[in-house]
Structure 1
Amino acid sequence: MAGKAERTRQHIIEKAAPFFNKKGYADTSLSDITAATGLTKGAIYGNFENKDELALAVFSYNLDRLAGGMLLAMQQQENAVDQLLAMIRYYRGVYQQVSVQGGCPVMNAAVEADDNFPALKVKVKGAVKNWTRTIARTIDTGKKEGSIRSQTDSGAMATLLIALIEGGLMLAKLADDAGPLQVTLDRAEKIIRTELAK
């Protein structure tokens, strides 16, 4: 069971998460966070050294929620092709929730952190690297089990699938319409079924 300090810290992260994802890390103010949490500035800084530390914790929280759901969907499948298709279905299903919460936390943080927040950029790069590795390993497993063509470049295909997902999310957010995401996910699904699967 979590102690009071741990529960308070988690409460702050959960309440601050939508602000950081919607308004951005730079534009989210301490006043936004105190209003959302009902806590004083002193209580916030009693749990986090500074706004940057809170922002990093919020990014991890947002990422864990998104990636955790994707991994769970993939793990429920028996072969690599079905796991990759489950990833695509997951992003089809989660779009509305992601949209309401301000968009994909990876993309949002990547754009904002590029030159302004080096510690966040490191975390985002790590998240994308882990995602790429997860997809590439899934493809490698598929090659070994015989469900995926052996000549497939696992790393390149992982990069392509991520680009289709993230690009679709970005275009859908910009258009305020899921249509562009559905187009890119349709293409990703077709690639999995016709170029990867045996």
Structure 2
Amino acid sequence: MSKGEETKAKIIRQAAELFNQQGYAGSSISDIMRVTGLQKGGIYNHFQSKDDLALQAFDFAIASVSQHTRAALRSKRHAIERLQAIIGVFSSFVDNPPIKGGCPILNTAIESDDAHPALRESTQKAMDSWRELIRLIIEKGISRGEIRAEVDADETATIIIATLEGAMMISKLYDDTIHMQRAINHLNQYINNQRNS
């Protein structure tokens, strides 16, 4: 990796944490300069605009989350175990997020809505990928006889994600992990009820 590539990677990593903690709109170019230690020209030497940096920083944040998820799934074969591993990884983000500030999908989805269409599109793609992963695990579990045939994979993915993201928000709001723990306990029971006995 060249010096320029190293600098760009450092900017992306530091901006990803800044945006995830303060939001895109709440992070000025001065804030980006402060966390990176670079001048404006040094930043714009690598990125066309703040929007360009935000999109690349979001991709970096999502890649960090995906890396943790892949590692947790690596040793799991049974569909129920795989779903529980995803839940376990996400629950660890309250105290030990792969990127400071919590879940980048949640944080960016709330902020991007209609104000930042490109960022919103990236967030939707990340969410689509997460939903698809859960859906495929469930469908494969059904085909292997591990999950009951009448389980709706898309509905279950929505329930899992909405419960986790809601618990993340409440836990952060109150600075209390009990809310995430309650959600995890509920989801593990819910998933076990989908098991084909």
| Separation of aligned partners in 2, 1:91 and 1:149 | 24
- When the two structures are superposed, what TM-score results if normalisation uses the length of structure 2? 0.95
1:9 correspondence with 2:31: no
- 1:99 Cα deviation after fit: 9.6
CA-to-aligned-CA distance 1:9-33 (integer Å, 9 cap, x gap):
1010112222111111011111111
- When the two structures are superposed, what TM-score results if normalisation uses the length of structure 1? 0.94
CA-to-aligned-CA distance 1:153-186 (integer Å, 9 cap, x gap):
0111111111111111011111111111111111
Match of 2:43 in 1: 44
> 1:1-198 alignment to 2 at 5 Å?
2-98=1-97, 101-198=100-197
| Separation of aligned partners in 2, 1:38 and 1:106 | 27
RMSD over aligned CA atoms reads 1.5
- 1:197 Cα deviation after fit: 4.5
Please identify which structure carries the higher helix content. Answer: 1
| Separation of aligned partners in 2, 1:67 and 1:176 | 25
| Separation of aligned partners in 1, 2:157 and 2:43 | 39
Q: Which runs of 5+ in 2 are unaligned?
A: none
Q: Structure 1 residues 60 and 99 mapped into 2: Cα distance closer, same or farther (>3 Å)?
A: closer
- 1:92 Cα deviation after fit: 2.5
CA-to-aligned-CA distance 1:84-125 (integer Å, 9 cap, x gap):
111112123332123982221111100000021100000011
**Number of equivalenced pairs:** 197
Question: After alignment, is 115-124 or 3-12 more displaced?
Answer: 3-12
Moved over 3 A (4+): none
> 2:13–2:57: 8 Å Cα contact kept in structure 1?
yes
| Separation of aligned partners in 1, 2:91 and 2:7 | 33
SS in 2 for 1:170: helix
